[in-house]
Chains A and B, each alone.
Chain A
């Protein structure tokens, strides 16, 4: 084999849809944990924390942030096990649930939505930088500098993404260790800057909803949507892990504990700001500078800069991989460059940042049914067995061609869940609760439960034959 062909195949394995063999795996538990955490730690965590902090008591905030994330992340990460075993990502498996064309469409749509997070990320980077420069006595015109600094953040992240998993691994190995340390310091400083008894005594804002349960579940809606936001991206990197154990725990602890810890830190800072200044603040640099003095400006600058750039890089890699699983012929580098222009445009536009709550809920309504169907398909319907030859369309193996490349059953379950939840449980666009079911499952949670239920129901109906054409084609298990 010519060297350039070998290089190309290596690139397609690491940054493409070719299955990764055991000998190709690069990531230990620590590597995957740090890389995933680097992806998970971004300043939008503080935005989320500040939002929740307003409406709940301290204890309820703590439970709301950690417990909803742990429940859903633990469940949605179960399919990490197939990602590690077969060296494939979620979207390759989803070819058997949605069909190859269904995956091409949803992989692209979801990644386009996911990139909205990176626009938020770069805007937070820009506003933090402007605040910090102002604190240092250098005022910057926000109209000019916000888009410039935001796009600068996107470009730096793109450079990391172009380096692939190896560069991402080494970038995050140092960054995340430092950031975790900084995060712990931040929480400790907040509790020492403002007495815990005063933070604990802050009365929840009741304007969100008239009952305590309503406020708790509306806050939970944000946290469930937050947990779901990782789902379609979470099962890309575990294919690099060396064992199922390291793949599962590194992924679930990063998304289920580390990310919520930074949401919690944001909540604590917002409460401390309220005690000190009488208003809630979500910009970590402003919070730290106010609570702990200008000496912490540098610390928060480093925290925000590194966190956002690291997230941009890892996020670009992951989402371009998702698109590639649906459109494998497009080169990874081209996708990363296109993503850079797209995220830059979103950053300058600013719509996602202005509609953050609606944005994460709407994205979760597409991701929720996919989570439910994936878990049910993996554990109950396909019983952890997939026809790898069919999923890669090897000649003579056509179990997953379905109807012209679309699995009508999977797509119908997704669409029905989306519509039913919006009409009868919770409308994320208008933020309207439609029924009491919301107070048990939240809207996003219902999409996952209902999507999984419908898919299971279909699998025990006459549609089973259509869904499970692969049972005589399970050569690799």
Chain B
């Protein structure tokens, strides 16, 4: 059954509000955060790539 725009808006609003209340609950389990190893991996990938790019830009790698 097709809903009108106002009904859809109300339904989405109410559901969003309920979900946000659930997320505000101290018992809500957020997805596990990334760790130090992940951060080190990101930084290493960027630094190594930048070094190789600079070597090409300087003409060291031809």
Give the complex CA separation of A60 and B17 in angstroms: 52
Cα of A78 to Cα of B59 in the assembled complex, Å: 31
B30:A85 contact, CB within 8 angstroms: yes
Contact B38 A213 (CB under 8 A): no
Q: Which secondary structure characterizes the binding site on chain A?
A: helix
Q: Which residues of A are found within 8 Å of B11, using beta-carbon distances?
A: 5, 8-9, 12
Stretch in A62-70, A131-139, A337-345, A369-377 with 4+ CB within 8 Å of B: A62-70
Q: A394 vs B19: C-alpha distance in the bound complex, in angstroms?
A: 12
Residues of B within 8 A of A220 (CB): 53
Encode contact with B along A1-44: 1 for CB under 8 Å, 0 otherwise.
00011001100110011110110010000000000000000000
Question: Count of A-B contacts with CB under 8 A?
Answer: 115
Chain A residues within an 8 Å CB radius of B56: 59-60, 63-64, 216
Taking a contact as CB atoms under 8 Å apart, the answer to whether B57 and A22 are in contact is no
Q: Cβ of A75 < 8 Å from any Cβ of B?
A: yes
Nearest Cβ on chain A to B21's Cβ, whole angstroms: 9
Q: How large is the interface on A (under 10, 10 to 19, 20 to 34, 35 or more residues)?
A: 35 or more
Within 8 Å of chain B (Cβ to Cβ): is A169? Answer: no
Q: Quick check: is A388 within 8 A (CB to CB) of the other chain?
A: yes
Q: Which positions 1-18 of chain B face chain A at CB distance < 8 Å? A: 1, 3, 5, 8-9, 11-13, 15-17
Asked if residues A59 and B28 are in contact (CB atoms below 8 Å), the reply is no
Residues of B within 8 Å of A16, CB to CB, are: 12
Candidates B16, B23, B52, B53; contact of A394 at CB < 8 Å: B16
Partner of A71, one of B24, B30, B32, B50: B50
Residues in A neighbouring B30, C-beta threshold 8 A: 22, 85
Chain B residues within an 8 Å CB radius of A86: 23
Per-residue CB contact flags for chain A residues 49-87 toward chain B (1 = under 8 Å, else 0) read 000000001011001101110110011001001001110
Cβ of B29 and Cβ of A22 under 8 Å apart? yes
Q: Give the chain A neighbours of B28 by CB distance below 8 A.
A: 21-22
Smallest CB gap from A216: residue in B: B56
- Return the chain B residue nearest A73 by Cβ: B45
- Docked Cα-Cα span, A213 to B11, in Å, equals 57
Chain B residues near A216 (CB, 8 Å)?
Answer: 56-57
Q: A22: which B residues are within 8 A, CB to CB?
A: 28-31
Q: How far apart are the CA atoms of A243 and B31 in the complex, in Å?
A: 5
Determine whether the beta carbon of B61 is less than 8 Å from that of A25: no
Tell which of A110-118, A170-178, A244-252, A282-290 binds the partner: A244-252
Q: How far is the CA of A40 from the CA of B4 in the complex (A)?
A: 37
A155 on the B face (CB < 8 A): no
Pick from A4, A70, A248, A439: contact of B38, CB below 8 A. A248
Residue A212 interfacial (CB < 8 Å): yes
10 nearest CB pairs, A to B: A67-B49, A243-B32, A70-B49, A244-B34, A71-B49, A63-B52, A243-B31, A67-B53, A9-B15, A392-B16
Between-chain CB contacts (< 8 Å), 14 pairs = A63-B52, A68-B49, A71-B53, A74-B45, A74-B46, A81-B33, A85-B30, A85-B33, A242-B31, A245-B34, A248-B38, A249-B38, A329-B9, A476-B23
| 18 more A-B residue pairs beyond the given contacts A63-B53, A216-B56, with a C-beta to C-beta distance below 8 A | A9-B11, A13-B15, A18-B19, A19-B16, A19-B23, A63-B61, A68-B49, A74-B42, A212-B62, A213-B57, A244-B32, A244-B33, A248-B34, A249-B38, A256-B45, A394-B13, A394-B16, A476-B20
